[in-house]
Amino acid sequence: MPARFAHPTDPSAPLVWRVPAWQPTVMMLFVCGVVALNLYLSPNTLVRIVSIGLGALAFIAAIEGLRMYLVADQYGIGFRGLLRTHNIDWSDIQSISVRRSGFNGPTLRITRTDGSYADVPPSLMLPTKPTGTVKTLAQLGDTARMITEYGQARR
């Protein structure tokens, strides 16, 4: 009997990473809870202001999370963070490596041939389940190698 999934993906298809769908969903559920609190419980002014502020932050975080992506396609690498969108052609990429920063956690660094670089937002690259640092760094290294190999075939 032949393997059911001999070639599960098309090798010419782009590689895509996005924020897991459950994260914006949880944020929106929190927003619904804040709305319900303010509609049905009639809290005092301080609680109302704080809860509306937290609800607004959660709403903005959910929308921004839905907009974030990392795509490696035939033209290069594109990714969107909170404030900027980066599009880098394969010919402009010198290397892709794992970068370990203190505040944001480990992520991928895309170094251009002119020496400048762009860091992929960690929220796109880090595992969603609690994972040890060694395993996380190994997974990021595998991802960097996979993107690099994908780009080598398209240069």
DSSP H helical segments within the chain, as ranges?
22-40, 45-67, 122-125, 133-152
Reduced to 3 states (helix: H, G, I; strand: E, B; else coil), residue 19 is coil
Give the pLDDT of residue 105. Answer: 81
Distance, CA of 18 to CA of 123 (rounded, Å): 9
Termini Cα distance of the chain: 38
pLDDT cut 90: percent of the chain above it: 57
Poorest-pLDDT segment among 50-59, 71-80, 97-106 = 97-106
Q: Where are the domains of the chain?
A: 16-67, 69-152
69-152 CATH pick, 1.10.357, 2.30.29, 1.20.120, 2.40.30: 2.30.29
Q: pLDDT tens across 93-111, in order?
A: 999 999 887 677 888 999 9
Query: Which residues, 6 or more positions from 60, have their beta carbon under 8 angstroms from its beta carbon?
Result: none
Q: Which residue has the higher pLDDT, 13 or 139?
A: 139
Q: What pTM did the predictor assign?
A: 0.77
Give the pLDDT of residue 94. Answer: 94
What is the sign of the dihedral through the CA atoms of 138, 16, 114 and 148? positive
